[in-house]
């Protein structure tokens, strides 16, 4: 579905992403892991056209989206929820959700999707006319993901969905991500919380200082303490997911 | 449908305010108070126009009064009777010296011209963002002013343009103001308005949703230009004369103060701000005239009104940076209070 070929992103003299290639097949959950400053956010921002591509190629199916504008890329079925949730706090839950459908013209379909998603997330239904900033952290993250769903994406890119959430909420968010996959959405999930992400992902890429250091099945990475320690700096003693979460929080 | 109706109902409730004020003034007030109220309505229309762009996009706009001037001059020049025009504008370009439009036609043409000019300037201004955009709007105000002052054949330059038939009154003004209140509110809650507000809160996230920020800013700028142009037309038809300085810094700051004081993020804020500043201003003018209150002769203090305007802005922004009303519309605020009280009652009952 998505194939990124030798993509580079530069901010002035700084090369944030260096000739990265990756693929996301239809129906997959792919985790993009790596430490702070590895270039994960730059990479997905470049895919959706928010930051300029220095060189390389981004294909969505057979369509070259390399230098397209974000609104055109969203229209083609790619959506991203930015890091730190980025819900619009001054707007209501309702307005946030309608924003998700910014590029859609089919009013009836938008209404139908809205009703369906609200039925799945009763908390959002309950807080429908509240300002988004009054929601709790977990609710805001749900809102951000549901909002992204409103554009009816084929490919959804999530930037650090578990950031700043309590461990039990992290679990809940990843469960939600699996549900989305069951609904036919392909997901590219950027995470620092490697353990939790690998439980749900099919495949994983590890990015560090702008380059791909590892790619393979999620199970292979999660099952190997060596690999985890080597690429993600996670020691054997924090192998259990709970402990990793605790350390993170 | 539901959000649309909510917004229409909220707008209508707010629009009742200018109507109530207008009716009360017509029933009970003196001639000079009617004049103050007329000007208040015109200022309100301009402030609402300003709210459409500045409130929703959060980019400060210092050039809005240019559109008031363009609307006023176009309508005025078109409506002045040919007999008067032959004395004051004998060399008007485009054959305007032999044109005489009725108030309706003049209004339509003036608003259309203002809208067209807003579109062209908007193409330039919406390329910028933040402080750069604000400075461009200020430059635009100066450009328009210079044209008014120097295009003698068209505007009489710095001298007053007079002889415009007085074709509006408090009834027209109050209904137009009410209609503009509703229009501004519906725009705020429309798809474009919501997207624009989202982009002002977080440009990156809005763009990631596929929001075309530049196009939305342009659309808001043009809509705002049309509303403010209409305000200018009403000014021309109310006062019957004008000069370039009617549409310069003084009016710019007065209307900006009204908007910022009330809270620029909401239409309620624009309305409340316009009311508060007008009432405060008139009160200060009264004090300035050294009246005798309860047998005490107050001293004459010159410049009190200007001091009041500056002082109030400083105090309000220090205590309430979002303005008196803040980010929410009044009806939303009331609804939220009620909902919270209900929830508290429910929790208390459960406990």
Element (H, E) at A84: none
Q: What is the pLDDT of residue A78?
A: 92
What residues in B contact A70, CB-CB < 8 Å?
Answer: 207-208, 210
- Give the whole-angstrom CA distance, residue A56 versus residue A82: 23
Is the confidence at residue A247, as pLDDT, over 80?
A: no
Strands A78-81 and A155-159: parallel
Question: Chain B contact for A219, CB < 8 A?
Answer: no
What are the tokens at B56?
A: 């929703």
Give the closest of B198, B204, B208 to A91, CB-based.
B198
Closest residue in B to A73 (Cα–Cα)? B210
Q: What is the pLDDT of residue A164?
A: 78
State pTM to two decimals. Answer: 0.84
Q: What is the pLDDT of residue A239?
A: 42
What residues in A contact B212, CB-CB < 8 Å?
Answer: 69, 71
Q: By mean pLDDT, which of A169-178, B21-30, B247-256 is the weakest?
A: A169-178
> CB neighbours (10 Å) of residue B169?
13
Question: Chain B contact for A70, CB < 8 A?
Answer: yes
Element (H, E) at B164: none
- Give the whole-angstrom CA distance, residue A56 versus residue A8: 6
Q: Shortest Cα distance from A82 to chain B (angstroms)?
A: 6
Q: Shortest Cα distance from B227 to chain A (angstroms)?
A: 25
Range of the domain at B317: 2-350
What residues in A contact B191, CB-CB < 8 Å?
Answer: 98, 102
* Chain centroid to CA B128: 23
Asked if B210 lies within 8 A of A103 by C-beta distance, the reply is: yes
- Give the whole-angstrom CA distance, residue B259 versus residue B196: 18
Is the confidence at residue B295, as pLDDT, over 80?
A: no
Residue B259 confidence class, pLDDT cut points 50, 70, 90: very high
Give the closest of B195, B197, B202 to A102, CB-based.
B195
Residues A214/A218/A223/A224 CA torsion (nearest 10 deg) = 0
Is the confidence at residue B128, as pLDDT, over 90?
A: no
Give the start-to-end residue ranges of the domains of chain A. Answer: 2-248
Q: Choose between B187 and B85: higher pLDDT.
A: B187
Q: Shortest Cα distance from B44 to chain A (angstroms)?
A: 25
- Give the whole-angstrom CA distance, residue B110 versus residue B291: 42
Q: What is the pLDDT of residue A7?
A: 92
Mean pLDDT of A89-99: 89
From first CA to last CA, the distance across chain B in angstroms is: 37
Q: What is the pLDDT of residue B146?
A: 95
Q: Look up the ipTM and state it.
A: 0.73
Average pLDDT of chain A to the nearest whole number: 85
Question: Chain B contact for A129, CB < 8 A?
Answer: yes
Is the confidence at residue A113, as pLDDT, over 60?
A: yes
- Give the whole-angstrom CA distance, residue B68 versus residue B42: 10
Cβ atoms B69, B81 nearer than 8 A: no
Buried b (16+ CB within 10 A) or exposed e, A191-219: bbbbbbbbebbbbbbbbbebebbbbeebe
Name the residue with tokens 């509110």: B185
The CA-atom distances, in angstroms, between B34 and each of B103, B173, B230, B305, B317 are 21, 11, 20, 20, 30
What residues in A contact B209, CB-CB < 8 Å?
Answer: 74, 79, 99-100, 102-103, 147, 151
Give the closest of B195, B197, B208 to A50, CB-based.
B208
Asked if B209 lies within 8 A of A89 by C-beta distance, the reply is: no
Q: Shortest Cα distance from A48 to chain B (angstroms)?
A: 7
For the packed helices B65-79 and B31-50, what is the interaxial angle rounded to 10 degrees? 120
The CA-atom distances, in angstroms, between A119 and each of A35, A103, A124, A146, B227 are 36, 23, 9, 11, 41
> CB neighbours (10 Å) of residue B141?
21
Q: What is the pLDDT of residue A208?
A: 87
Element (H, E) at B293: strand B292-293
- Give the whole-angstrom CA distance, residue A127 versus residue A125: 6
- In a 13 Å sphere around the CA of A213, the CA atoms on its Cβ side amount to 20
- SS3 for B39-68 is HHHHHHHHHHHHHHHHHHHCCCCCCCHHHH
Residue B141: closest CA among B121, B159, B116, B120: B121
CATH of the domain at B323: 1.10.3470
Is the confidence at residue A87, as pLDDT, over 80?
A: yes
What residues in B contact A48, CB-CB < 8 Å?
Answer: 208
Strands A14-24 and A29-33: unpaired
Q: By mean pLDDT, which of A129-138, A166-175, A235-244 is the weakest?
A: A235-244
Q: Shortest Cα distance from A223 to chain B (angstroms)?
A: 35
What residues in B contact A190, CB-CB < 8 Å?
Answer: none
- Give the whole-angstrom CA distance, residue A213 versus residue B203: 32
Mutation test of the interface with chain B: which of A81, A83, A86, choosing the one with the most B Cβ atoms within 10 A? A86
Asked if A88 lies within 8 A of B335 by C-beta distance, the reply is: no
Q: What is the pLDDT of residue A240?
A: 44
Percent of chain B with pLDDT over 90: 53
Most confident of B53-67, B222-236, B285-299: B222-236
What residues in A contact B216, CB-CB < 8 Å?
Answer: none
The CA-atom distances, in angstroms, between B136 and each of A83, B129, B130 are 33, 10, 10
Residue A234 confidence class, pLDDT cut points 50, 70, 90: low
Is the confidence at residue A105, as pLDDT, over 50?
A: yes
What are the tokens at B316?
A: 């309000």
For the packed helices A167-182 and A137-149, what is the interaxial angle rounded to 10 degrees? 10
Asked if A130 lies within 8 A of B336 by C-beta distance, the reply is: yes
Number of domains in chain B: 1
| DSSP label at residue B80 | S
What residues in B contact A129, CB-CB < 8 Å?
Answer: 332, 335-336, 339
- Give the whole-angstrom CA distance, residue A13 versus residue A61: 32
Is the confidence at residue A18, as pLDDT, over 50?
A: yes
Closest residue in B to A87 (Cα–Cα)? B205
Q: Choose between B113 and A168: higher pLDDT.
A: B113
Asked if A94 lies within 8 A of B3 by C-beta distance, the reply is: yes
What are the tokens at B87?
A: 């004395």
What are the tokens at B31?
A: 């001639």
Asked if B207 lies within 8 A of A100 by C-beta distance, the reply is: no
Q: Shortest Cα distance from B298 to chain A (angstroms)?
A: 46
Question: Chain B contact for A107, CB < 8 A?
Answer: no
Give the closest of A94, A130, A151 to B209, CB-based.
A151
- Give the whole-angstrom CA distance, residue B168 versus residue B38: 10
pLDDT tens digits along A126-155 = 888 888 988 888 888 889 888 888 888 899
Q: What is the DSSP string of B233-284?
A: HHHHHHHS-B-GGGGSHHHHHHHHHHHHHH-TTSHHHHHHHHHHHHHHHHHH
B147: buried, middle or exposed (CB in 10 Å: 19+, 13-18, 0-12)? middle
Asked if B209 lies within 8 A of A94 by C-beta distance, the reply is: no
Q: What is the pLDDT of residue B118?
A: 97
B98: buried, middle or exposed (CB in 10 Å: 19+, 13-18, 0-12)? exposed
Q: By mean pLDDT, which of A166-170, A227-231, B62-66 is the weakest?
A: A227-231
What residues in A contact B197, CB-CB < 8 Å?
Answer: 88, 90-91, 95
Q: What is the pLDDT of residue A141?
A: 85
The CA-atom distances, in angstroms, between A170 and each of A48, A149, A176, B30 are 25, 19, 10, 67
Mean pLDDT of A209-229: 84
For the packed helices B65-79 and B103-125, what is the interaxial angle rounded to 10 degrees? 150
Residue B201 confidence class, pLDDT cut points 50, 70, 90: confident
Asked if B211 lies within 8 A of A99 by C-beta distance, the reply is: yes
| DSSP label at residue B94 | G
Percent of chain B with pLDDT over 70: 99
Is the confidence at residue B17, as pLDDT, over 50?
A: yes
Phi/psi region, residue A25 (left: phi>0; alpha: psi -120 to 50; beta: rest), is beta
Strands A203-208 and A29-33: parallel
Most confident of B2-6, B298-302, B338-342: B338-342
| DSSP label at residue A133 | G
Is the confidence at residue B180, as pLDDT, over 50?
A: yes
The CA-atom distances, in angstroms, between A140 and each of A127, B261, B316 are 11, 31, 32
The architecture in CATH of the region A2-248 reads: 3-Layer(aba) Sandwich (3.40)
Closest residue in B to A85 (Cα–Cα)? B205
Q: Choose between B280 and B238: higher pLDDT.
A: B238
- Give the whole-angstrom CA distance, residue B92 versus residue B83: 13
What residues in B contact A80, CB-CB < 8 Å?
Answer: 208
Question: Chain B contact for A95, CB < 8 A?
Answer: yes
């Amino acid at each position: 579905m998505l194939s990124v070929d030798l993509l580079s992103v530069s901010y002035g003299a700084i090369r944030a992403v260096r000739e990265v290639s990756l693929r996301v097949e239809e129906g997959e959950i792919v985790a993009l892991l790596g430490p702070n400053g590895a270039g994960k956010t730059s990479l997905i921002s470049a895919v959706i056209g928010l930051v300029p591509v220095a060189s390389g190629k981004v294909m969505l199916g057979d369509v070259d989206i390399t230098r397209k504008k974000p609104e055109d890329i969203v229209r083609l079925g790619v959506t991203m929820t930015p890091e730190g949730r980025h819900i619009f706090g001054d707007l209501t839950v309702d307005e946030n959700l309608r924003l998700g459908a910014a590029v859609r013209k089919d009013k009836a379909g938008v209404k139908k999707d809205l009703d369906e998603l609200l039925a799945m997330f009763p908390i959002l239904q309950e807080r429908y006319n509240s300002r988004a900033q009054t929601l709790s952290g977990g609710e805001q993250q749900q809102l951000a993901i549901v909002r992204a769903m409103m554009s009816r994406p084929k490919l959804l890119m999530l930037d650090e969905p578990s950031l700043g959430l309590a461990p039990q909420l992290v679990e809940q968010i990843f469960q939600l991500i699996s549900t989305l996959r069951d609904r036919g959405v392909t997901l590219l999930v950027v995470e620092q919380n490697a353990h939790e992400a690998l439980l749900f992902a099919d495949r994983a890429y590890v990015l560090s200082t702008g380059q791909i250091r590892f790619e393979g099945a999620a199970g292979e990475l999660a099952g190997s303490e060596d690999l985890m320690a080597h690429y993600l700096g996670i020691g054997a003693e924090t192998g259990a997911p709970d402990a990793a979460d605790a350390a993170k929080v | 449908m539901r959000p649309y109706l909510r917004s229409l109902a909220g707008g209508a409730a707010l629009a009742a305010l200018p109507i109530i004020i207008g009716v009360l003034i017509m029933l009970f007030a003196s001639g000079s108070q009617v004049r103050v109220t007329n000007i208040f309505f015109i200022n309100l229309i301009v402030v609402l126009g300003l709210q459409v762009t500045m409130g929703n996009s959060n980019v400060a706009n210092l050039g809005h009064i240019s559109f008031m001037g363009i609307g006023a001059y176009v309508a005025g020049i078109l409506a002045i009777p040919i007999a008067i025009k032959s004395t004051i504008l004998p060399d008007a370009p485009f054959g305007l010296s032999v044109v005489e439009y009725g108030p309706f036609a003049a209004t339509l043409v003036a608003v259309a011209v203002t809208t067209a000019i807003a579109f062209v300037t908007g193409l330039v201004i919406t390329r910028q963002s933040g402080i750069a955009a604000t400075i461009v709007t200020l430059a635009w105000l100066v450009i328009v002013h210079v044209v008014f002052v120097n295009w003698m054949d068209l505007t009489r330059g710095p001298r007053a343009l007079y002889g415009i038939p007085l074709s509006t009154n408090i009834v027209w003004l109050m209904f137009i103001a009410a209609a503009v209140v509703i229009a501004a509110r519906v725009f705020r809650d429309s798809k474009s308005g919501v997207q624009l507000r989202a982009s002002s809160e977080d440009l990156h996230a809005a763009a990631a949703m596929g929001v075309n920020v530049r196009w939305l800013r342009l659309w808001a700028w043009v809509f705002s230009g049309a509303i403010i142009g209409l305000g200018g037309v009403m000014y021309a038809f109310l006062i019957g004369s004008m000069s370039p300085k009617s549409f310069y810094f003084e009016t710019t700051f007065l209307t900006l103060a009204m908007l910022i004081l009330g809270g620029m993020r909401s239409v309620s804020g624009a309305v409340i701000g316009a009311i508060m500043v007008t009432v405060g201003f008139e009160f200060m003018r009264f004090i300035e005239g050294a009246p005798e209150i309860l047998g005490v002769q107050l001293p004459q203090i010159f410049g009190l009104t200007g001091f009041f305007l500056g002082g109030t802005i400083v105090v309000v922004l220090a205590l309430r940076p979002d303005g008196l009303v803040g980010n929410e519309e009044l009806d939303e605020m009331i609804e939220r209070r009620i909902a919270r009280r209900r929830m508290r009652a429910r929790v208390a009952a459960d406990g």
